[in-house]
Amino acid sequence: MTYMEYEKLLLRADRLTSICNPRKSEYWRGYRSGIEVHFQNGQQASLPDHYSIIEVARRNRSNDVHAYARGYRDGCKGLKPEDAP
């Protein structure tokens, strides 16, 4: 992933966070956090487990922890928004 692709994904996640309903907004907040991890660490051999993702969501004061966790996991996988639910 190039820096330009990374920046586009961050901007898209920010835009979708601001225009979506609260649950989808939490998904995109998590996705943004996950894509940052993906870009900084490259494709990781193993993704963080569900419990550690839930902890990240709670630290970020997520209103819908499970939507945030799904977004975070998709971001960590490096999925593009069209590949994500």
pLDDT tens digits, one per residue of 34-71: 899 888 876 555 666 667 777 777 777 777 888 888 89
- pLDDT over 90 percentage in the chain: 21
Q: Quick one: which of 40, 2, 63 has its CA closest to 32? A: 40
Residues 68, 30: contact at Cβ < 8 Å? Answer: yes
CB atoms within 10 A of CB 30: 30
Residue 26 or residue 53, greater confidence: 26
Instruction: Quote the pTM value.
Output: 0.79
CA distances from 26 to 5, 33, 39, 42 (A): 22, 11, 20, 23
Q: What is the largest CA-CA distance in the chain?
A: 33
Domain regions of the chain by residue span? 3-77
Please give the DSSP secondary-structure letter assigned to residue 46: S
pLDDT at site 8: 93
pLDDT at site 67: 86
